[in-house]
Amino acid sequence: MSQTAPTGDNKPNPEAGSVVFKRKGFQFMGLGTQDFIRFFFGGNASLAIIILILICVFLAKEAFMFFPQHHAGLKDYRQSGQEFVDYIGDEIGAHTNLYSSANIAYFAEVNRTSREEDDILRAHRAVLANLENLTSKTWGRFEREVDALEDVGDDLEDLDPAKEEDQPKIAALQEEKERLEKEIVKFRVELKEEVSAAINTNEAWELGVGSDAPPPESLPKLREAVLFEASPEVDEEHPYIAELKAVSKAKKAAAVEEFADFKATLKAMQDVVRPLKSLHSEIRSIASENKAVLVKLSTAADRKEAWIKGAAATKDPDEKARMLAEAEKVVIEAPDYDAMAEPFYEVIPEHAALIAPIDTEMAVLFQQLPDKVETRSAHENLKRAKVYYDRFVKTVAENRENIKGWSHEKPVSAVESVSSFLFGRDWITNSSWHDVYGLLPIFTGSLLISIIALVVAVPFAVSAAIYVNQLAPLREQNFVKPAIEFIEAIPSVVLGFFGILVFGETLRVVSQVEWLQWVPGFPMAERLTILNAGLLLAFMAIPTIFTLTEDALNNIPQALTENSLAMGASKLQTVFRVVVPTAVSGIIAAVLLGFGRIIGETMVVLLVAGNKIKIPDFTEGIGVIAQPTHTMTGIIAQELAEVDAGSLHWRALFMVGMVLFAISLIVNFSAQRVLKRFQKI
């Protein structure tokens, strides 16, 4: 081919060989357009990584500063003697738990005898109130008329019938009076009709549900009593109600008599701990004073430091001198720790003398609690009392050593400051006594909610995915899949709203149904519970798990299904022996990612979990799910906005965030490991 011939759009070039291979187009510093586009995208990717690293670094920095501060706090706690006081407080607390459980049992038993009457009376009150609501308008008018009639009567009395000039007025008033009287009679009839009409509506006839409902044979009489009392002429009680009240009162009195021993035991229990309580409150105030001194000391140091820092930053020499002078003025005087702790050492023998008889006497008193009770509530509360008694004994035994060996000088170890956070059983903030940051209450809350959510969501989501992907006809697939995936689009705050208003209330009402009482935790007293939050979170996790499981099933080659079917396997055999086992890694990963979604969810749990910072009471067994709780995510969202930046509380919340971060990290990491492991087969 000719080298110089201009063919097409190729420019002629004397060196044909080099023309062919030379780079064309935009060039800058040896880089072409493609390179720049590549760098642009690469840059974006690395920016994301850099931001992730920054987040980790700052989160970690804020969070881990928690431990030195926490350490200082614990040191103050010990030196002020608060620790010592709390040992005794623990004993009293354990005793109170035991006492109140037994007390509830006592009242349940006493009220049991008159339960039927009480139920009827309660229904009576409820129906009357409902009727009043329903007929309130007519009542209002009726009462206005009655008032007007009274006014007219008063006016008439003021006038003198003997006086000539008053005669026309009197006549007018008389006329008015007659009119009103007629009106009132008419209203009475009207009201009566309205009441008897209203009593037939469901709204009025709401008698309580489940075990609270009055016996059916009492209903006619109850109706009569209500009609009687609701009618406008009557002001007194219907004899039936009065009788019921008397019977209830008598039965209660008899029951009190019957359970006199029980009552005496309870009283003895309360009396025996009284001296310890007064000792506790005595030394408690000493510890409070000590604490105030220590807080003053640490704030003084902070202030001094702030002045010095400010001085270093200002350029104006006068201002600088003034600030340094201010700093000079702040005196940091270490208090006499030994003197502060002195009163507590004095108390040690006194406490030992007090606790020994309490211990032995409680053992006797506990045995005196009745074994056999009739009501379920009493039975459960006595069972709980048993648990609390064991805890009480344990607390006393432990604290005996703790109190004997207590020393205000004992250094707080680093391990202690970490473990008291990770395994601390209380989360108490803004307290006038001592702030405690223990992870366990919120951690157990998060964990319980997550477990419920997973237990509910996994079977639903996985089986829905299997059905939709493998068994459903195409038309159904095209409807169900988008429908489930749409759930994901519901804002969680909306879902939380729904959870409070609709779901929580429904759950509570359902829990009162009589034939469901075998379900642990039923009947539920609260709307905002672990169960409610768990179920809502399950609802939120279902689309995540569903979609990922569906993807995993989709990735199973069609050929495997065909092979199995060609072997004579039925559709179900194919699904459960070939498809699902092959997709199991994907399904496990889907569940783990669903768990990640659940544990990280904030809004719903904040709205629905009840936000009670307390380790749930596991003595109720599975019934624990009917209690309110708080979560790690919820507590951050709720408290972070209200705390001072840099304070111990602030850092504690960061630490909680760190723990959440670590959990998510572990979950994601294990999800990936699981995927890899199963892909090998």
Interface positions with other proteins (CB under 8 A): 474, 557, 559-560, 562-570, 573, 577-578, 581-582, 681
Half-sphere exposure of 507 (CA within 13 A, CB side): 27
Which CB atom, from 74 or from 579, has the smaller least distance to other proteins?
Answer: 579
Cα–Cα distance measured from residue 96 to residue 212, given in angstroms and rounded to the nearest whole number: 29
**Contact in structure between 651 and 65 (CB atoms under 8 Å):** yes
Q: Distance between CA 237 and CA 230 in Å, rounded?
A: 10
Nearer to other proteins, 531 or 578 (CB): 578
CB nearer to other proteins: give 162 or 681.
681
Closest CB to other proteins among residues 393, 584: 584
**Least distance from other proteins to the Cβ atom of residue 548, Å:** 19
Strands 27-28 and 31-32: antiparallel
φ/ψ of 5, rounded to 5, equals: -65, 125
In the complex, the smallest distance separating the C-beta of residue 677 from other proteins, rounded to whole angstroms, is 13
Distance CA 480, CA 474 (A): 10
Q: To the nearest whole angstrom, how small is the minimum distance from the Cβ of residue 664 to other proteins?
A: 30
CA nearest neighbour of 534 among 595, 613, 619, 618: 595
**Nearest residue (CB) to other proteins, 499 versus 586:** 586
Contact between 586 and 677 under an 8 Å Cβ cutoff? The reply is: no
Q: Which is nearer to other proteins, 149 or 565 (CB)?
A: 565
- What's the min distance (Å) between Cβ of 559 and other proteins? 4
The nearer residue to other proteins, 33 or 573, going by C-beta atoms, is 573
Rounded distance between C-alpha atoms, residue 13 and residue 401, angstroms: 100
Burial state string for 394-422 with b = 16 or more CB within 10 A and e = fewer than 16: ebbeebbebbeebebeeebeeeebeebbe
CA distance 9 to 6: 8
Provide, rounded to whole angstroms, the least separation between the CB of residue 553 and other proteins: 14
Q: How many angstroms separate the CA atoms of 569 and 470, rounded?
A: 14
Find the shortest distance in angstroms from Cβ 476 to other proteins.
13
Nearer to other proteins, 133 or 478 (CB): 478
* Cβ at position 592, least distance to other proteins in Å: 21
Q: At 203, phi and psi to the nearest 5?
A: -60, -40
345 or 678: whose CB is closer to other proteins?
678
Is 134 within 8 Å of 200 (Cβ atoms)? no
Nearer to other proteins, 465 or 580 (CB): 580
Closest distance of CB 459 from other proteins, Å:
24
Cβ atoms of 225 and 240 closer than 8 Å? yes
φ/ψ bin of 236: left (φ > 0), alpha (ψ from -120 to 50), beta (otherwise): beta
How many of the other CB atoms lie within 10 Å of CB of 98? Answer: 26
- Choose between 418 and 675: whose C-beta lies nearer to other proteins: 675
Q: C-beta of 474: minimal distance to other proteins in Å?
A: 7
Dihedral over Cα of 313, 315, 316, 317: its sign: positive
Least Cβ distance, residue 566 to other proteins (angstroms): 4
CA distance linking residue 93 with residue 91, whole number of Å: 5
Q: Report the C-alpha gap between 375 and 255 in whole angstroms.
A: 13
Query: In sequence order, which residues have a C-beta less than 8 Å from that of residue 219 and are 6 or more positions away?
Result: 207
Nearest in space to 611 (alpha carbons), one of 453, 456, 496: 496
Least distance (Å) from other proteins to the CB of residue 558? 9
Select 46 or 554, whichever has its Cβ closest to other proteins.
Answer: 554
From the CB of 591, what's the least distance to other proteins, in Å? 20
Q: Contact, 583 vs 673, CB < 8 A?
A: no
